[in-house]
Structure formats: C-alpha cells, structure tokens
A and B are shown apart, each in its own frame.
Chain A
Amino acid sequence: MEYLIGIQGPDFVLVAADNVAASSIIQMKHDYDKMFKLSEKILLLCVGEAGDTVQFAEYIQKNVQLYKMRNVVPSSKFHFSDITQSVPFVSSQTPYHVNLLLAGYDDADGPGLFYMDHLSSLAKAPFAAHGYGAYLTLSILDRYYKPDLTQDEAMDLLKKCIEELNRRFILNLPSFSVRVIDKNGIQELQKVTVGAAK
C-alpha cells in the first residue's frame, strides 16, 4: 500500500514516497514523511510494518551519528549499506519487517541508490521501487530510463509513474513527497499531488 521510488542520474538521485500513514482501511495521516535523513547527503526511505519502520530508521540514524562522533572522517554511503544490511536480520527470530531505499551522494563516487528488502537483500540499482505500486511502475522505468537523464527528465519520469498509479492502482495515494540529493545536499522539491501529475 505504501510506495517508494528512486531514480539515479549522473550526478543526482531523485526519490519520492507517498504520504499516507494508514491503519487498516483508514488514512490516519495524509502528510506523513517516510524519508529519514541519515546525513547531509544520505536519505533512508523506509516502509513496512507499523512501528518497525520508525524504530529501525531511527536506530540507523543514531548509529550513523555515533559513527560520525567516533570517527572523524564521514564514511561513504556504501559502507552504510553494509551496516544497514546487517540490521534487518539482526535477529532472525524477530526481524524488522522493513523495505528500504537508501539514496545518497558521495563526493568521491557520485550518486548512489540502493534497494534493500526485509530479507536483507541489497542491490545497487539505477532505479528502484517498493510496494504494490512497484509492479505497475518498474516497467515504465525500464522503458524510459536513460543513465544520463537530467533532473527535469527524471522528474517527468517520476510523474509518469505517479500518473500510472493514479490510473491503475486501486488505492488512493493523493500526494508524494519528493527530494533530490546532489552535490549540494538534500533538497526538498514540491510535493506531487493528484491532478498535478498530468
């Protein structure tokens, strides 16, 4: 029911998440932010089971802070993927049931987007999505994505995906938070709402 999407360009990563916090069939909140800032240029998008998402994301956030305090040099996001990968399955008795997208910009290596699921599979990908909406939109990304797309083209691609959700997905996801990460850090772009995605 929740939806995450990330699109990586040559020097930026564009990410978006829906804004609905639901409980059973009720929308408890329609402006809920599912992105967690891990550092100046790294975002963690987290969906999954109630409670697990926030607890896990905040745990990682605090661990990153601790790492920064202990070590002077901030590590690249690839290392963070290693840390994060161990945690969802850290206790297989009671794993965190969360699905993640980790997006960041490293000054040395450039932008990166990582897909991680609740079984701890990790994959670096040029574009990725989570949720039922992914079934509808991955093919659009396959069809129209180019590795050298500009930020505007990525935004158009994102809007195409959201249009498709509005057209075919049974659930109403009225608005999406959108952020872009590039060498200047994390910028919040305007939310994409139903009607605006035309």
Chain B
Amino acid sequence: MALASVLNSDLGGFSYEKCQPFGFKDEMGHSDAGFESTPGESLSFMVRNPQCAAADDDVERKIEFLHGTTTLAFKFQHGVIVAVDSRATAGAYIASQTVKKVIEINPYLLGTMAGGAADCSFWERLLARQCRIYELRNKERISVAAASKLLANMVYQYKGMGLSMGTMVCGWDKRGPGLYYVDSEGNRVCGDLFAVGSGSMYAYGVMDSGLRHDLTVDEACDLGRRAIYQATYRDAYSGGQVNLYHVHSEGWTRVSQDDVLKLHQHYKEQA
C-alpha cells in the first residue's frame, strides 16, 4: 500500500522520543511518577506511545496510526454506551477520517481501538477466537471479566516489546453490563466510565459532568456523542465521525454515525 510505504519513511522521524507517559521499564530506581515530561517537551497528552527507548533504534519506529484518537465507554442503567471518533493520523497528516475503531468481537461483546490499529485489531480478533472456543467448551457465553482477562494475559506476554493498544472491552453478561479497560502496559481495570486516547481528557470533562446512572438511552447516546464531539473540537488528532454503539441485554446495536462537522452546526444551532 502506497500509504503504508509513505508512512514508513521519513515521517517516522518525528520525535515521539520525548514523550514518556508511564515508562517504568528502563530505570530500576524510579518506580513511578509517570509525568516526568516537563512542560515544553511534547505536551501531546498521548496516552499511548511506541517504545521510545533510544537504545533500540534498530527496531523500526512503527507509525502508530491511532495514537491520536478519542474513544469512550460508560455504563448506565440500560447497559453500556460506546462512542468513538474515526480519525487516523500519522504525525500531522490525517491518514483517514473513516476508520472503524469499534471491533465487534461477538454479538454481545465490543472492543474499542486506540493505539496501534494492527495491534488492536489483531489481538481483538484473537480474543474473539478465544471467546468462541470458551463458548464451545463450556456451553455458555464468556463473561466480560473473563474475556478482558484473556486479552490482558495474552498481551502481558508481550509487555515491553512495543505493542501499543488501549482498549475497552464492553459487553453484557449475567452480571449485567460489563466494562473493562485493558492496555498493552498490562493494566486491566473494571469501571463505570473510561476514555482512552489523546482526546480522552477532554471527553472525561464532559462525561464526568453529565453522567448519571439513571439516564435514558437517548440521553446517554447524546452524552456520548457530545463528549466525543467536544474532544474532537479540542484535540487535533481526533475527528471524522462519531460512531455510537449501545450494548444491552440482547447484545450490541449500532446506534448512529454522525459527522463531527455536522454535529458542530447542530450544537451551534441548539445553543
């Protein structure tokens, strides 16, 4: 693919090496403080980062397509809402505005994509395979907790080797709505609300101030859509369309796809 070869070339040189989100792996002594990056250094709040160890420069500096992204998911009384943007960037270049960042693992489990597109889609497809095997062996659907644990364990084997993946596993099982955040660092956390990607912080702002447990489905969809829109407004690396899914007791449903610029007009008129 011509695009791939273009991206593999000089654009790989842009300096990600300064952004060090939570790189514990190099030094023995320093256990945490994931924010050594002083102001002035790349202030891109990129949660994901390709390995920026200066030592292994022979390992190719992969271009992580979806570094810049905003994905979010939250639980409410009627299930889980999953909302994502659809922009893929390679440095300052917008590679695509129509990327599908939600992976349909099976009819009742969804996975979101942030970080490396290949990493996300590969591992989540592998997860889909594992979930299906579980179903066949145990004659019952896999729980969201188990599915996310499978993914976390798979990816943990490759920790430190340059995988870049920040995903949310969303579904509905016999314990009700389930939402887990899993990433290539090894994090696996259960929660009611997550946002992942460079625009995640902007999304958190809108979500936290508007979220209640007793939202109706429409209100929840609007909240998710609005949060992604606000993130795309502020974050240069997010944009395109807002893809919205709703996970309920019968599985997931694709709710809507709205272009962000049209949403902008719509909200402007509303205000």
Q: Which residues from chain A sit less than 8 Å from chain B, CB to CB?
A: 1-2, 21-26, 28-29, 32, 47-52, 54-55, 94, 97, 99, 118-119, 131-132
Contacts and interface: CB of A to CB of B under 8 A. Distances in A.
A100 B187 CA distance: 18
B33 interface: yes
A50 to B, nearest CB: 4
Contacts of A50: 22, 183, 185-187
Contacts of A118: 28, 31
B210 interface: no
B162 interface: no
Contact of B189 (A32, A55, A97, A99): A32
A22 B159 CA distance: 18
A25 B35 contact: yes
Given A24-B35, A97-B24, A132-B33, 9 more contacts: A50-B22, A50-B183, A50-B187, A51-B152, A55-B186, A94-B160, A97-B25, A118-B28, A132-B32
B101 interface: no
Nearest to B23: A49
B22 A23 contact: yes
Given A2-B32, A132-B33, A28 B181 contact: yes
B90 interface: no
Interface of B: 21-22, 24-25, 28, 31-35, 45, 47, 152-153, 156, 159-160, 181, 183, 185-191, 194, 200-201, 204
Please indicate which of the listed interface residues B24, B31, B160 has the most CB atoms of chain A within 10 Å of its own CB. Answer: B31
A99 B30 CA distance: 11
A51 B35 contact: no
A1 B190 CA distance: 20
Chain B's interface: helix, strand, loop or mixed, by majority? Answer: loop
19 contacts: A22-B34, A23-B34, A24-B21, A25-B34, A26-B201, A28-B194, A29-B189, A49-B25, A50-B187, A51-B152, A51-B156, A51-B159, A51-B186, A51-B188, A52-B159, A55-B156, A97-B25, A97-B31, A118-B28
Contact of B186 (A28, A52, A131): A52
B21 to A, nearest CB: 5
A50 B34 CA distance: 11
Contacts of A29: 189-191
Contacts of A52: 159, 186
Contact of A51 (B181, B187, B200): B187
**4 nearest interchain CB pairs?**
A51-B186, A50-B185, A50-B187, A49-B24
Contacts of B31: 47-49, 97, 99, 118, 131
Nearest to B196: A23
Nearest to B190: A29
Contacts of B190: 29
A97 to B, nearest CB: 6
Contacts of A132: 32-33
Contact of B22 (A24, A94, A131): A24
A196 B232 CA distance: 39
Given A24-B22, A28-B181, A1 B187 contact: no
A103 to B, nearest CB: 20
B202 to A, nearest CB: 11
Please indicate which of the listed interface residues A32, A47, A51, A55 has the most CB atoms of chain B within 10 Å of its own CB. Answer: A51
